Structure 1
Amino acid sequence: MSGDGGSPGQQHGGGQPYGPGAHGPGTQGPGGGPGYWPGYGQPGGHPHGGWGQSPWGAVPVAPKPGVLPLRPLAFGEMFSAVFDTVRRYTGALYLPLAAVTGVLAVPMVVVAVLLAGRLGDAYNALPDTSRGEEPTGDQLWALGWPLLVVFGLILLLGIVQYVIAGPLATVVLRAATLGRRMTAGQAWKEARPRLGAAVASMALLYGPLLVLNVLLVGLAVGLGTVTGSVPLFLLLLLLSAAIGVAGVYAVVRLAPQVPVLVLEDSTPKAAIGRAWQLNRGNWWRSFGLTALVTAIGRVAAGVISYPLSIALSVLVPLSSVDFEGESARLQLSHGTMTAVLVGYSLLVLFGTLATGPLVPLVNGVLYIDRRIRNERLDIALAEAAGIHFAEAYGYPQAAPSAPAQPASAQPAPSAPVPPQPGAPAEPGTAAEPSAGEGPAGR
């Protein structure tokens, strides 16, 4: 079938019926359902039915006021909508996130500068392995703990970026779906009130998974070291891996969590339950779209940052190579290590900034698709955009029939018979003037 999605009532996309009367489970009528978006109130249904309704059962092309056609979405349409939103609303998406990233970069640069000297000294103190010398545990720890602090801080700042990008991308997608303009200031103003709820929602999702995995890995290492029991060690590692797999399933299943939180003004706990129910039977589709968009985004960010990484490698001067005997060993000064550490950290932050809005946009598109399929959100969105489905594409409307007139009790008057020339006129009627005569009194 063509891109119009098929005739009303056909199976489309995920095998979900749509068309007039094709309401999914839990729906409350056209455009309704548990979520009250758009308008932050109960959206009304269109009196003429749903998408694709016409007097002859023909199917018009779905309206597309913004980046999404208002009908059940195909995989390629959802993929295109993500990057169309990035292209059309670049400023609204990235300017607030870039400002936040700039603020977050300050403590990261400070920490990198403070630890660069220690890291450089620890690296220079390592023995030459080419001569058969092995580093001690203290030497490895002196090298490792500054790196752990820097990488941990980068990870924490990346999480902060992701949490902020969630509500920000959702409010931008709301405007992009209806084809409305949005500035960076408007996007930040609408997203800011939901940041606290987004933090709580992410903590409810990722917190238990992280705690369980840390406990199991720590328990496995501790018991394996103390008891020396290899089977117990492997069992705990397998349990940790199983929890990780379950966590991946839960995260993908709860993809619409932040859109529910923002667009339906829900609480964090209620958003988790609503997202779990809304995304039922859509796991592989959600996983595939998220993985594809993430991979393409990272490739694009890598292509952009590649010249910066080349420039960063040039910062290591050749004069820092120390020739000792037959081997050449790199000796890093404090200045060189500081430049390398700060540059690498900023490069990682730039990559997370470039790809930060992509996954939240995927989650928002999945949310809209699920609500269109199950709750007829397309009708409410079309009404919010000022579009009426049946009359937007030249399909004639059924004109309202005029009320029937009551039949008269008297017979209809017959047509008047012109009088014959010379015949006397009937009493009470005026004689017809002959040709050439004007009206009486002239």
Structure 2
Amino acid sequence: MTDTPSRRPTEPSAPKSADIPVTPEGVAEAVAEADEETVADATAGAAKPSIPVQPSATTQPPRRSYARTDAGVGTGTGTGTGTEGAAGRGTNAGPTWSAAPAWGQLSSAPIPGWEWSGSWIPKPGIVPLRPLGVGEILSGAIALLTRYWRTALTVSAAVAVLSQLMVALVTALLPLPAGSADLTLASTGNPAADLHRALVSLGDIAPLGGATGAISLFAGTLAAAGLATVASKAVMGKPASPAEAWRAVSSRLPSVVGLGLITTCATFGTLALSAAPCLIANADHSSDAAISASALLMLPGSVVALWLCISMGLAAPALVLERQSIRAALARSFRLVRGAWWRVFGVTVLVSLLTGLVSGFIALPFTAVDLIANGTGSDGTAVSSLLLAAIGGSIGAALTLPITAGASTLLYIDQRIRREALDLDLATAVGIPNYGH
């Protein structure tokens, strides 16, 4: 990425008498020579100013747009009126310049709302208005929670409580059989017996694990849609109240719920279809060869499910911010992720690991109390176990869902900046006209 246009004037050129020694005689000669040149210029009617003057609106210096590298998009620099295309974004006439301070009055202090990155880049909100790095996406998602905590926690707490109630209900209806699920998977020396035991364990935990995973994905989609407006305002440094977030989502609530259901069913439905032949073959006591062959189907099924989950991950912000239909939002997400799948995947996995650690740390005291109260042999369906798990899960989800949702919206904005130069529109929206031209 090349630098954004700098607003600092160019350095003055060295004087003609730069080789004169710094002595009283040399200084006197330099002053005399300067006086002679000034008199000569005055005679010609064009005295040279001693301090560079900022150019007027009709003779402005060129401004350069920084590089945006992505699939099908290059970089472009130039002056005057340009065009947009695969070669880059041209430049237009710059803004009207105000009176410039003298050289001695220039300061390198940060400009409010701007940050230094080789040149001054606007940062009116939680992230700078340029293509974002992984660290900036993470820090911006955390800043969404810390700066807009009232609105973020209001939305995330509602989604967290709803999702944890659903998890408690599923746990009560589909309990994990006590002692039947062998999660150690220690080898016995018999491959057929080991495969059978692994499939039995998978069959035991699949209903509960799949249901809780689907609920988590559904809750994440709801949170991403509910906080998309908040995150977009945070990027521009504008306030966002819970009422504004609700107004933005309420009219789209059926579409948001439908999108969450489609995303969840597509991801976990693919996993279930890939695992079903193996589980059925094992339940029918088929041959080891048939069971092993059907088990291999779970590998490509898992890959397809992961690809779908990442490719549809930007649909929620597109649905709310662009006011699109479910189908159009899904297509929009696929287009934005195409060519950057691994980057989106890496950021998503990193955010999931961090939020998972935080959620686990928060739930740890509640799990310890459950073990003390109900013992290690509990199947988790006791009222006290369900209550403790719901409280711990709600607190953890309320604190981590804003980070997950913020990262999703920032990824959406980042991809639009890289592909569509959205940063120029954002800069105009916050009162920085002609930025990047």
TM-score, structure 2 as length reference: 0.63
Structure 2 partner of 1:245? 303
What is the aligned counterpart of 1:71 among 127, 130, 141?
A: 130
Displacement, 1:305?
3.4
Count, aligned residues: 333
Displacement, 1:221?
2.8
Displacement, 1:63?
1.0
Is residue 2:365 matched to residue 1:307? yes
Q: 1:74 to 1:221 in 2, by over 3 A?
A: closer
Determine if contact 1:67/1:84 at 8 Å carries over to the other structure.
yes
Structure 2 partner of 1:228? 286
Displacement, 1:212?
3.9
Please give the alpha-carbon distance, in whole angstroms, between the structure 2 residues aligned to 1:342 and 1:259: 33
SS in 1 for 2:120: coil
Please give the alpha-carbon distance, in whole angstroms, between the structure 2 residues aligned to 1:349 and 1:361: 18
Please give the alpha-carbon distance, in whole angstroms, between the structure 1 residues aligned to 2:5 and 2:371: 52
What are the within-5 Å matches in structure 2 for residues 427-442 of structure 1? none
Please give the alpha-carbon distance, in whole angstroms, between the structure 1 residues aligned to 2:124 and 2:342: 28
Displacement, 1:69?
1.1
What are the within-5 Å matches in structure 2 for residues 110-121 of structure 1? none
Displacement, 1:24?
6.0
Q: 1:269 to 1:350 in 2, by over 3 A?
A: same
Is residue 2:312 matched to residue 1:254? yes
Q: 1:313 to 1:201 in 2, by over 3 A?
A: same
Displacement, 1:199?
2.6
Q: Which amino acid aligns with 1:85?
A: L
Q: 1:185 to 1:212 in 2, by over 3 A?
A: same
Q: 1:296 to 1:47 in 2, by over 3 A?
A: same
Structure 2 partner of 1:367? 412
Structure 2 partner of 1:356? 401
Determine if contact 2:70/2:419 at 8 Å carries over to the other structure.
no
Q: 1:123 to 1:68 in 2, by over 3 A?
A: closer
Q: 1:74 to 1:23 in 2, by over 3 A?
A: farther
Structure 2 partner of 1:204? 262
Determine if contact 2:160/2:219 at 8 Å carries over to the other structure.
yes
Structure 2 partner of 1:379? 424
Determine if contact 1:65/1:385 at 8 Å carries over to the other structure.
yes
Q: 1:209 to 1:236 in 2, by over 3 A?
A: farther
* 1:19-68 alpha-carbon deviations (Å, 9 max, x no partner): 556846599x89xxxxxxxxxxxxxxx96479xxxxxxx98412111112
Q: 1:358 to 1:69 in 2, by over 3 A?
A: same
Displacement, 1:265?
0.9
Identity %, equivalent residues? 25
What is the aligned counterpart of 1:343 among 388, 409, 412?
A: 388
* 1:218-276 alpha-carbon deviations (Å, 9 max, x no partner): 22332355472333322322223202102212322333211111111111111122221
Please give the alpha-carbon distance, in whole angstroms, between the structure 2 residues aligned to 1:82 and 1:316: 38
What are the within-5 Å matches in structure 2 for residues 149-168 of structure 1? 154-155=212-213, 157-168=215-226
SS in 1 for 2:139: helix
Please give the alpha-carbon distance, in whole angstroms, between the structure 2 residues aligned to 1:207 and 1:115: 20
Displacement, 1:309?
3.4
Structure 1 partner of 2:195? none
Structure 2 partner of 1:62? 121
Please give the alpha-carbon distance, in whole angstroms, between the structure 2 residues aligned to 1:5 and 1:238: 55
Q: Which amino acid aligns with 2:272?
A: V
Please give the alpha-carbon distance, in whole angstroms, between the structure 2 residues aligned to 1:154 and 1:338: 18
* 1:316-367 alpha-carbon deviations (Å, 9 max, x no partner): 48xxxxxxxxxxxx88799x94323321243234333332233322221111
Q: 1:247 to 1:92 in 2, by over 3 A?
A: same
Determine if contact 1:92/1:182 at 8 Å carries over to the other structure.
yes
Structure 2 partner of 1:281? 339
What are the within-5 Å matches in structure 2 for residues 179-194 of structure 1? 179-194=237-252
SS in 2 for 1:62: strand
SS in 2 for 1:68: coil
Determine if contact 1:8/1:18 at 8 Å carries over to the other structure.
no
Please give the alpha-carbon distance, in whole angstroms, between the structure 2 residues aligned to 1:80 and 1:379: 22
Structure 1 partner of 2:114? none
Please give the alpha-carbon distance, in whole angstroms, between the structure 2 residues aligned to 1:270 and 1:80: 30
Q: 1:189 to 1:178 in 2, by over 3 A?
A: same
Please give the alpha-carbon distance, in whole angstroms, between the structure 2 residues aligned to 1:277 and 1:353: 30
What are the within-5 Å matches in structure 2 for residues 15-94 of structure 1? 17-18=74-75, 23=84, 48=93, 60-94=119-153
Displacement, 1:188?
2.0
TM-score, structure 1 as length reference: 0.62
* 1:365-413 alpha-carbon deviations (Å, 9 max, x no partner): 111111112211111111111222559xxxxx9xxxxxxxxxxxxxxxx
RMSD of equivalent CA atoms: 4.2
What is the aligned counterpart of 1:265 among 313, 318, 323?
A: 323
Determine if contact 2:164/2:393 at 8 Å carries over to the other structure.
no
Please give the alpha-carbon distance, in whole angstroms, between the structure 2 residues aligned to 1:168 and 1:389: 32
Q: 1:227 to 1:382 in 2, by over 3 A?
A: same
What is the aligned counterpart of 2:156 among 89, 94, 97?
A: 97
Determine if contact 1:158/1:352 at 8 Å carries over to the other structure.
no
Please give the alpha-carbon distance, in whole angstroms, between the structure 2 residues aligned to 1:332 and 1:236: 33
Please give the alpha-carbon distance, in whole angstroms, between the structure 1 residues aligned to 2:291 and 2:135: 45
- Please tell me whether Structure 1 or Structure 2 has the larger radius of gyration of its CA atoms: 1
Please give the alpha-carbon distance, in whole angstroms, between the structure 1 residues aligned to 2:406 and 2:234: 11
Please give the alpha-carbon distance, in whole angstroms, between the structure 2 residues aligned to 1:75 and 1:331: 43
Determine if contact 1:278/1:370 at 8 Å carries over to the other structure.
yes
Displacement, 1:167?
0.9
* 1:265-314 alpha-carbon deviations (Å, 9 max, x no partner): 11111112222112222112111111112212222233333334334444
